[in-house]
Structure 1
Amino acid sequence: MAAQPSHRMATADSGRILDSLSTSVLIVDRARSLLFLNVSAETLFGVSRNQVRGRPLAELLEDSAVLDEVIDRAATTSRPFSRRELQLRPIYGDGELVVDCTVAPYEESGAPGAVLIEISDATQHQRITRETALLTQIGGSRLMIRQLAHEIKNPLGGLRGAAQLLARQLDDASMREYTTVIISEADRLVTLVDTLLGPGHLPRKKSINIHELLQHVGHLLGADAPPGVVIDRDYDPSLPPLNLDRDLIIQAMLNLGKNAMQALAQTAGRSGRLVLRTRALTNVNIGARRHRLVASVQFEDNGPGVPEHLRDTLFYPLVTGRADGTGLGLAVAQDLVSRHDGLIEFESRPGLTIFTILLPFHVTDHTSQAP
């Protein structure tokens, strides 16, 4: 009789130890029913242990198959098994999680075949890695754009001049039509090259309410919106003014909005929706810098999503998923935002794509090196 209270005490002590861990811990039995969640797991999955105790693991996640595979491997071999960067989508949580996971047999539970699942949230680490890659892309893209633009622009001037001289020598009006085409196409390419080069001056910043710019962009997008597309607004009115170049940020936001509209034009048979959203974020890393306060400006659409094969190179110039696209809109937008020490990032799956502009508020001691 004395052994039973001793076992309960050991189990209670184990629970207190697991609750003190910063990693998330779940214990499930052979039937994949939840026996225990520690405090970190409650926070990560947005539930209390009393709410889900005894319930199937499948009721905690929208798709538990990827986690079931790791559990099966550990249960079959009776040895710990780990997987990195699993994508989980909690039913009660907020958005997709990227986690590192270790599953090990757990005999102390008193349930044969039980396993302990240790989960470390790798979402923030992945985000920092992705942002660092984006910032590296910006530098490489900017150099490549300028070199390419100069290589194209110089011969275009000679081509245009030669066409003008030729036109003066031609008496046949029908022949001069050809030189007119050459000149107009050369001018079009010069305009394209100027877009690649971007503004030739430093940002002319002044204190601006970001919602004023976003409202202006929303009106422009609404005027050319495809039939059935609705533009909704979800603003945080408490956002203080930002120090911005009005024209540059409007251009960046227009490029994102037009991309979303073009994606929504492909949503045949269902209503398209674009949401313009603002939020204030605290303690955000942009590359190696930590900003105490950052404005988040989001363009969310319910279009088909970004094709998988384009995601790693989406902000490179001349990369596009449309036959009639130039591949310049996102590259130029990223460059314009980077001139404000900001960054554009995105997440996408079919039916939900979010492009987020991060713009730091320049308050006192606003940056420091990230740990």
Structure 2
Amino acid sequence: MLNDRQLRQLLDNLTAAVLVLDDGLRLCYLNSAAEDLLAASNARVSGVPLRDVVFESSDAERAMRSALDAGQKYTVRRASWRLHNLERCTVDYSVSPVLELGLLLVEVQSMDRLLRIAREDALISAQETTRNLVRGMAHEVKNPLGGIRGAAQLLQRELPDEELTEYTQIIIDEADRLRNLVDRLLGPRKPAELQPTNVHELLERVAQLIDVECDGELQIRRDYDPSIPDIPGDAEQLIQALLNIARNAMQAIDESIGFKAGTITLRTRIQRQFTIGRRHCPLVCRIEIEDNGPGIAEDIRERIFYPMISGRAEGSGLGLSISQNIINQHRGLIKCDSRPGQSVFQIYLPLYTE
């Protein structure tokens, strides 16, 4: 027979979180997975009411009491729990009454990671589809542009009146402008050349450029993790990707609250056991560019990485699309969380290539 210590050891080796509640819905035991999920230790919350550690709803509490009274099991899918530290998590959980002991056994599976992976997988797939569509359209537009420009040049040579050549020059200039736009839609012309790259040197270069553009009026904060090793990257392309994001933040601040009231924060962290799409990465470098501007309008928030989508009247809507293309070339991921008064762009770059 197993003793109490051995039983606890077995429960602590489960990947599922296990909570044991008494008939007053007070916590009696948390295994290690539950401690991680709830950000609470078993010793500190033992005897504490469940609602003081995690709360779903009053109906959920009544359902647990009814299960104990009736001796019936039940399962809840995609429940939203508010933890004692005010964070939220999405879980599936099963409640099983142990009538002989007057206890409730709650088995919990966190769904946040799975939901995040599904969202990111859908995002990467949509971005790849959009990129292929844009590339196809860009090439289709670029080919006739060359013909139009060449024909205008030939016509310009044959025109007897120099005043008439002004019109052909307009055709040539507009064809060149459209070709430049198409080139920007296509993104970097050469594939990324991955070399060991210091991410903080890249960010300092971006900070320097932003500081010059705003005449030093905008506050730029650094929050770096100095232990981050060099990442495999193309320094020139990564600077362009980061600069596009930081410049958008700078322009949003300038148009809303002004440089003197604005702040851009550059942050780096190491993140372990991260999944980019369906690919598992033991270590990634997370770069965050945060600003205290007005936030991104809700109607375009889900589409900001698509070409020609911009929240500014003067914006081309290409900067973020180009940044996303560059980060994808580095097998990374770019995301955005935004609300009024705060926008955070998160760039995840693997520390090791496969």
* 1:286–1:13 Cα change, 3 Å: closer
Corresponding position: 1:337 with 2:327 = yes
Q: CA RMSD in A?
A: 4.1
Corresponding position: 1:252 with 2:241 = yes
Distance 1:326 1:68 in 2: 49
SS at match of 2:226: coil
* 1:319–1:87 Cα change, 3 Å: farther
Corresponding position: 1:235 with 2:224 = yes
| Alignment match, 1:290 | 280
Corresponding position: 1:212 with 2:204 = no
Alignment size in residue pairs: 348
Distance 1:259 1:84 in 2: 39
TM-score normalised by length of structure 1: 0.74
- How far the C-alpha of 1:191 sits from its partner, in A, is 1.6
Distance 2:256 2:20 in 1: 43
* 1:349–1:60 Cα change, 3 Å: farther
- How far the C-alpha of 1:354 sits from its partner, in A, is 3.0
Q: Does the CA contact (< 8 Å) of 2:220 and 2:265 recur in 1?
A: yes
| Alignment match, 1:60 | 53
One of 348, 353, 359 as aligned partner of 2:349: 359
Deviations 1:158-188 (A, max 9, x none): 4445666479859696x87776665544433
* 1:191–1:250 Cα change, 3 Å: same
One of 308, 312, 324 as aligned partner of 1:318: 308
Corresponding position: 1:148 with 2:141 = no
In the alignment, residue 113 of structure 2 is paired with which amino acid? Q
One of 185, 206, 216 as aligned partner of 1:196: 185
* 1:46–1:158 Cα change, 3 Å: same
Distance 2:104 2:294 in 1: 39
Q: Does the CA contact (< 8 Å) of 1:25 and 1:118 recur in 2?
A: yes
Distance 2:214 2:88 in 1: 30
* 1:137–1:168 Cα change, 3 Å: same
Distance 1:170 1:59 in 2: 88
- How far the C-alpha of 1:92 sits from its partner, in A, is 3.2
TM-score normalised by length of structure 2: 0.77
Q: 4+ residue runs of structure 1 moved beyond 6 angstroms?
A: 10-17, 29-32, 175-179
In the alignment, residue 334 of structure 1 is paired with which amino acid? Q
| Alignment match, 2:90 | 98
Distance 1:226 1:85 in 2: 49
- How far the C-alpha of 1:257 sits from its partner, in A, is 1.7
Q: Does the CA contact (< 8 Å) of 1:293 and 1:360 recur in 2?
A: yes
One of 234, 249, 265 as aligned partner of 1:275: 265
In the alignment, residue 92 of structure 1 is paired with which amino acid? N
- How far the C-alpha of 1:284 sits from its partner, in A, is 3.1
In the alignment, residue 199 of structure 1 is paired with which amino acid? P
Q: How does 1:54-203 map to 2 (within 5 A)?
A: 55=48, 57-60=50-53, 64=55, 66-73=56-63, 75=65, 79-92=72-85, 96-103=88-95, 107=99, 110=102, 116-160=105-149, 165=155, 169=159, 183-203=172-192
| Alignment match, 1:6 | none
Identity %: 39
* 1:295–1:14 Cα change, 3 Å: closer
SS at match of 2:83: coil
- How far the C-alpha of 1:88 sits from its partner, in A, is 4.1
Distance 1:236 1:327 in 2: 32
Structure 1: gaps spanning 5 or more residues: 1-9
Distance 1:248 1:69 in 2: 53
Q: Does the CA contact (< 8 Å) of 1:208 and 1:246 recur in 2?
A: yes
Distance 1:266 1:59 in 2: 44
In the alignment, residue 336 of structure 1 is paired with which amino acid? I
- How far the C-alpha of 1:217 sits from its partner, in A, is 0.7
* 1:340–1:178 Cα change, 3 Å: same
Q: Does the CA contact (< 8 Å) of 1:234 and 1:277 recur in 2?
A: yes
- How far the C-alpha of 1:59 sits from its partner, in A, is 4.1
In the alignment, residue 134 of structure 1 is paired with which amino acid? L
Distance 1:315 1:286 in 2: 17
Distance 2:319 2:51 in 1: 41
